[in-house]
Amino acid sequence: MRKPLNCISSCFRLPAKALSFNRFLRMKTDCPPKQIDQLVDARWIVPVEPAGAVLEHHSLAIDAGRILALLPTVEARELFVPQRHFALTDHLLIPGLVNLHTHAAMALLRGYADDMPLMRWLQERIWPAESRHIAPGFVRDGTLLACWEMLRGGITCFNDMYFFPQAAAAAALQAGMRAALGITVFEFPSAYGSDAEDYLSKGLATRDMLRDEALISFCLAPHAPYTVADRTFERVAMLAGQLDLPIHIHVHETEDEIAGSLKEHGVRPLARLYRLGLLGPGLIAVHAVHLDEAEIDLLAGHGSHVAHCPTSNMKLASGIAPVGRMLARGIGIGLGSDGAASNNRLDLMQEMRHAALLAKLGSRDAACLPAHQALRMATLEGARALGLDGEIGSLQPGKAADLCALRLSDWNLQPCYDPVSHLVYAAGREQVTHVWVAGKLRIKDTNPVDSTVTGLLHDALMWQNVLSNKH
């Protein structure tokens, strides 16, 4: 992090009410306004930290890709001279959303296999299609399509689990998007790897190759308890400790998964992972739908995280995750879209709404998971699970300028009494107008920057024809 700036440095650490003193200090010392890269004014800013804060008529000062200050607009215009100034007078500004679980390349399989339960969906449709088509080109094109869809909806970071992570990284970097890539592990062979050790070796080599890319990080990603052996899990646990990497895994997604584990291993999947040393603050338990009280306590006691995917859980009829009980135990819960083949949208605005509504339905408590908490799940909790909360997830000075602006002035959204309520219960990704990643504008006036929609459409149609011909 860069050092504070000379005579106005103290204003970046003080609350907004103290900024008038800093203006006085600048006037007394005759310090000229500071030149910066960007200034973003907004009708409302919700920084997520502190919890529940809604700032009206405030601005974010951005320089060198980082948030320099968050302060009232009238103060900002006196303290800073920006190269670019965005006056978003009808907008809500929030941190960029963090998609805690997806299979980005499966954007090319959107609508390919619908209205089927999980194991039939996998065994009859998805795995056969992947066995025929998975290759670096498929992963790169699918991930690029997914990146721009996510950016258009305000998602600035995604946690991926798929094959050929180097190809996924190339797509994410081309889109200018932040990605946590999975070092994916299966026991069975694919076009990418021959066995578990081969998957690990190739994934770790990709991590080494991309270690200097600021927007790229990694997770160990053993697919699921029913596709990974005990010996491999022990190796994953060892590597996670040595390399300080999160472990990203599907677990307790369906009742059939639990029955199969009891039959094969004599214990439920989470107990097996605990026995093998995988539970801890680095664990990201994806779905976690079918948990008993002891298992919720186990996750809470180890500081583990959950990636909640409400839309995918509904579409595959997996069940309703016990979000209210997990929150009551203090478990950190982020939100994921899952892949476009099981959702069919990479849309965290939708996930916030579905998460809030399902939590209320499942707990029969209308106060369960209020709007501010849903936003926190879609931002800071996802960042925390990935170990990136020092960098993203809230709008604090010093953090990367990953931002999303939504226009709330549309006639069909009126009246607006509470912008966070509107964000979760009324607005959609169509309201997103501007998105920044590390201070770089990626969506401007609803359109991709440095990309053509025509190219994305061409690639999507080409793959549609390929998959349709081998249906």
Non-local (6+) Cβ contacts of 176 within 8 A are: 215, 437, 440, 442, 450
Question: One digit per residue, pLDDT tens: the chain, 471 residues?
Answer: 333 333 343 344 333 433 443 443 444 345 789 999 999 999 999 999 999 999 999 999 999 999 999 999 999 999 999 999 999 999 999 999 999 999 999 999 999 989 888 888 888 988 898 889 899 999 999 999 999 999 999 999 999 999 999 999 999 999 999 999 999 999 999 999 999 999 999 999 999 999 999 999 999 999 999 999 999 999 999 999 999 999 999 999 999 999 999 999 999 999 999 999 999 999 999 999 999 999 999 999 999 999 999 999 999 999 999 999 999 999 999 999 999 999 999 999 999 999 999 999 999 999 999 999 999 999 999 999 999 999 999 999 999 999 999 999 999 999 999 999 999 999 999 999 999 999 999 999 999 998 778 889 999 999 999 988 754
For the CA atoms of 277, 281, 285, 286, the dihedral, rounded to the nearest 10 degrees, stands at -140
CA triplet 179, 3, 214: central angle to 5 degrees?
Answer: 15
Non-local (6+) Cβ contacts of 470 within 8 A are: 132, 133
This prediction has a pTM of 0.93
- The per-residue pLDDT for range 126-153, each reduced to its tens digit, is 889 888 989 999 999 999 999 999 999 9
Mark 230-260 as b/e (b = at least 16 C-beta within 10 Å).
eebbebbbebbeeeebbbbbbbbbbeebbee
Which domains are delineated in the chain? 6-95+395-438 (2.30.40.10), 97-385 (3.20.20.140)
H or E element that contains 421? helix 419-425
DSSP state, residue 430: G
Residue type, 466: V
Is the Cβ–Cβ distance between 227 and 188 less than 8 Å? yes
The phi-psi region of residue 38 (left if phi > 0; otherwise alpha if psi is between -120 and 50; otherwise beta) is beta
Residue 88, φ and ψ in degrees, nearest 5:
-100, 75
H or E element that contains 305? strand 305-308
3-state helix, strand, coil split of the chain in percent (to 5) is 45, 25, 35
Could you tell me whether strands 80-95 and 403-407 are parallel, antiparallel, or unpaired per DSSP bridges? antiparallel
d(CA 224, CA 289): 14
H or E element that contains 458? helix 453-469
Is the Cβ–Cβ distance between 427 and 356 less than 8 Å? no
65, 95, 171, 453 from 460: Cα distances, Å: 32, 29, 14, 11
Residue type, 134: I
CB atoms within 10 A of CB 354: 20
Peptide bond into 415 cis (omega under 30): yes
